[in-house]
Amino acid sequence: MRSVLPLLLLQFVLPARGQDVTSGPEKGEQVPELKVFDATGAHKDKEADYAADRKDKPTVYLFVNAEKFDRPMNRFMKGLDAAVKKDFEGAYVVAVWVGGDADKTKELLPRVQQSVQYEVTALTLYEGAKEGPKGWNVNADAHLTAVVANKGKVAATFGYQSVNETDVPKVKEALAKAIKEK
């Protein structure tokens, strides 16, 4: 009994890695409008509504807290980009930076693309509130919010305070499930 007690105490004292936070629209809701500045994607250097553009197509929307973007998050995004390209024909990832300095972010995103070479991911910027566009319900405490959508509906959401490439399988699984559902 004595050796179990320290383990039980550690369970309550040490926080879990990547504690999830509630972030993103509810499952089953219509995908809200998403007007963003597209820095690297199909609408490069223009404003676009990616929700309208992607309509019924399988899409993963990533809301990146600009102040929290780091290498582990970039590894998650690169891993997701590779998985979507390999396993989901016609699917796309739209990464939306929220918060931070808009001008600096507009300069940063093309450099990130040049360095990382995403293949099916648009790097975009929402120039409004840190909580993102209306209807997306992005939690300002989330470092990254992933919203899986298909056929114009939200299929799953994930809010992360810490994220890396080990989190890709859950999002990939949610995308596969969304595509299978009619």
**pLDDT band with cut points at 50, 70 and 90 for residue 146:** very high
Geometric angle at alpha carbon 47, from 26 and 171, rounded to 5°: 35
**Domain CATH number, residue 54:** 3.40.30.10
Residue 34 has pLDDT above 50, yes or no: yes
At 152 the pLDDT is: 96
At 182 the pLDDT is: 61
At 181 the pLDDT is: 86
At 131 the pLDDT is: 85
169 domain residue, yes or no? yes
Q: Please state the domain count of the chain.
A: 1
1 domain residue, yes or no? no
pLDDT, tens digit, 9 for 90 and up, residues 49-107: 999 999 999 999 999 999 999 999 999 999 999 999 999 999 999 999 999 999 999 99
13 domain residue, yes or no? no
**Average pLDDT score over residue span 154-164:** 96
Handedness of CA 140, 81, 117, 43 (dihedral sign): negative
Average per-residue pLDDT for the chain:
90
16 domain residue, yes or no? no
Residue 176 has pLDDT above 80, yes or no: yes
Measured in degrees and rounded to the nearest 5, phi and psi for residue 170 equal -65, -40
Give the containing element (helix H, strand E) for 29.
Answer: none
Measured in degrees and rounded to the nearest 5, phi and psi for residue 160 equal -120, 135
At 163 the pLDDT is: 96
Look up the pTM and report it.
0.89
50 domain residue, yes or no? yes
Token look-up 């300069």 returns 107
Residue 42 has pLDDT above 50, yes or no: yes
109 domain residue, yes or no? yes
9 domain residue, yes or no? no
3 domain residue, yes or no? no
Measured in degrees and rounded to the nearest 5, phi and psi for residue 157 equal -135, 150
Q: Is 20 left (phi over 0), alpha (psi -120 to 50) or beta?
A: beta
Residue type (1 letter), 18 = G
**pLDDT band with cut points at 50, 70 and 90 for residue 129:** confident
Write out the two tokens for 142: 């989330």
Domain range spanning residue 173? 21-180
Buried b (16+ CB within 10 A) or exposed e, 78-100: bbbbbbbbeebeebbbbbbbbbb
pLDDT, tens digit, 9 for 90 and up, residues 4-24: 444 444 444 333 444 489 999
Residue 52's CB is within 10 A of a number of other CB atoms, namely 12
Looking at the chain, list the stretches that DSSP marks H as alpha helix, in order from N- to C-terminal side: 4-13, 50-54, 71-87, 102-116, 168-180
Number of DSSP helices (H) and strands (E) in the chain, helices first: 5, 7
pLDDT, tens digit, 9 for 90 and up, residues 108-128: 999 999 999 999 999 999 998
